[in-house]
Amino acid sequence: MLLAGAFAALVPAPAIAAGAEPGHADVARVDRARIDTVLGGLVDSGALVGASALVWQDGQEAYFGAFGLADREAGRPMARDTLVQIFSMTKPVTGVALMQLYEQGKFQLDDPVAKYLPEFDGVRVYAGADVKGRPILAAPPRPITVRDLMRHTAGFAGGGSEPGQFGDLYRKADLERIDITLAEASRRLASVPLLYPPGTRWLYSSAVDVQARLVEVLSGQPFDRYLQEHVFDPLRMGDTGYVLHDGDRGRIAALYTRSDDGVMTRVPDAKAFEFNRRDWPMKPGGWGLVSTLDDYMRFARMLVDGGELDGVRVLRPETVRLMASDALPAAATDRSWLPGKGQVGFGIDFAVRTAPPANAEEASGEVGEFFWDGMANTLFWVDPLNRIAAVLFTQYVPFGKVPLHKAFRDAVYADDSSAAAPRE
């Protein structure tokens, strides 16, 4: 079994360490053989069932590689056109959709959400329980704004794991259902008190689903139709969507669960792809899309090119810069697990790198890059300084377990063309 500590042997030391000069020429050089060694080594070691990656730089393909199996039980290899569930990499797509409407003057970032979604008018903050065990609810110092939704500072809980009475209130609203509409999901979320006053914490939540509902209200279109007409069709992302069709079954990657001792167990297809049926009304903004490497790379290339791809403009350059700028208020010192992503802040549905990696234990990256990942360990980032866009696919849960993202990032940015082979 490949141990976490052995991953240091996969690549040389990161090119970007504390105090390194951003944009150094060596940083920008993408070496195909080095990335092959890293990703191939992870698969050969048994750490992964399959993996694939695509890197573009300066407007041309700098790397493609596919290793191992998309479907171990069927013996089907990972391929360039393999479809994967991207989970939370859906969120940046939603952010782009909503910011298109921002450009049209449909809303302002500091508008109260209740201006467009009245169910959030009068929302209260949970402040504990009184002596009789009844919840104490207080008015927040200010309303939830659209900006709060887009930077995860809205006050929403991070899920149903909160203990005590608040967790009970959250679970009673049954917010995890997929057989309801975005409108109903928004109403249910608004019925639950906020966990904290808006703007005072960063906490990952279902706020992006509320963004999707805003897209519906502001555009007058169902969210999935809006994405199709205004994002996927213009970018020629023909393999990206919420629904798996009969013809897709031969290309979809199986989903696996990785145990603590490295055993990969297939998630039954009926469960893994339960959501991706045509008849589910829920088309969330926070997860649910399936895509291919080339499709998602078209999305990433649009961003690295300032909102335009192949002559089609999706966003203005200044809007992309706004999305890729750290927007977290100084008062939000509690940032949950976000610091685990490195020296980052958060913009509009992206993490934003604000400083070089503090040490060699952190994954390589460039100041000014913006990125996000998905529950099944997919990853993408956009590096405007070096004009790099990178997409990494694999399909296993839970998140982490294998330091794949660090190994891949270090391989892309390493300044040495040699890479050590993986060891057990």
Residue 146 has what pLDDT? 98
Q: Are residues 136 and 69 in the same domain?
A: no
Residue 415 has what pLDDT? 61
- CATH (domain of 171): 1.20.58
- Label the pairing between strands 84-85 and 290-291: antiparallel
Q: Are residues 130 and 166 in the same domain?
A: yes
Q: How far is it, in rounded angstroms, from Cα 10 to Cα 6?
A: 8
For residue 191, the enclosing domain spans 108-219
Q: Are residues 187 and 69 in the same domain?
A: no
Q: Are residues 193 and 229 in the same domain?
A: no
Residue 414 has what pLDDT? 85
> 65-89, pLDDT tens digit by residue?
999 999 999 999 999 999 999 999 9
Q: Are residues 160 and 235 in the same domain?
A: no
Provide mean pLDDT across the span 303-320.
98
**Across all residues in the chain, what is the average pLDDT?**
90
> 186-229, pLDDT tens digit by residue?
999 999 999 999 999 999 999 999 999 999 999 999 999 999 99
Instruction: Indicate the number of domains in the chain.
Output: 2
Provide mean pLDDT across the span 291-297.
98
Q: What is the band of 130 on the pLDDT scale with cuts at 50, 70, 90? A: confident
Residue 282 has what pLDDT? 85
> 152-166, pLDDT tens digit by residue?
999 999 865 676 777
**Helix, strand, or coil (residue 172):** helix
**Mean pLDDT: which of 7-21, 84-98, 171-185, 246-260 is highest?**
84-98
Q: How far is it, in rounded angstroms, from Cα 87 to Cα 92?
A: 11
Q: Are residues 245 and 375 in the same domain?
A: yes
Q: Are residues 358 and 251 in the same domain?
A: yes
Pick from 256, 205, 233, 353: nearest CA to 302: 233
Q: Domain boundary at 186, 219, 252, which?
A: 219
Question: Is residue 176 domain-resident?
Answer: yes
Q: Are residues 25 and 174 in the same domain?
A: no
Q: Are residues 206 and 254 in the same domain?
A: no
- Label the pairing between strands 76-77 and 84-85: unpaired
> 312-362, pLDDT tens digit by residue?
999 999 999 999 999 999 999 999 999 999 999 999 999 999 999 999 999
Question: Is residue 18 domain-resident?
Answer: yes
Question: Is residue 184 domain-resident?
Answer: yes
Give the other-Cβ count within 10 Å of 283's Cβ. Answer: 24
Question: Is residue 329 domain-resident?
Answer: yes
**Mean pLDDT: which of 22-26, 241-245, 300-304 is highest?**
300-304
Q: Give 256's strand partners.
A: 266, 396
Q: Domain boundary at 219, 252, 281, which?
A: 219
Q: Are residues 120 and 175 in the same domain?
A: yes
pTM: 0.91
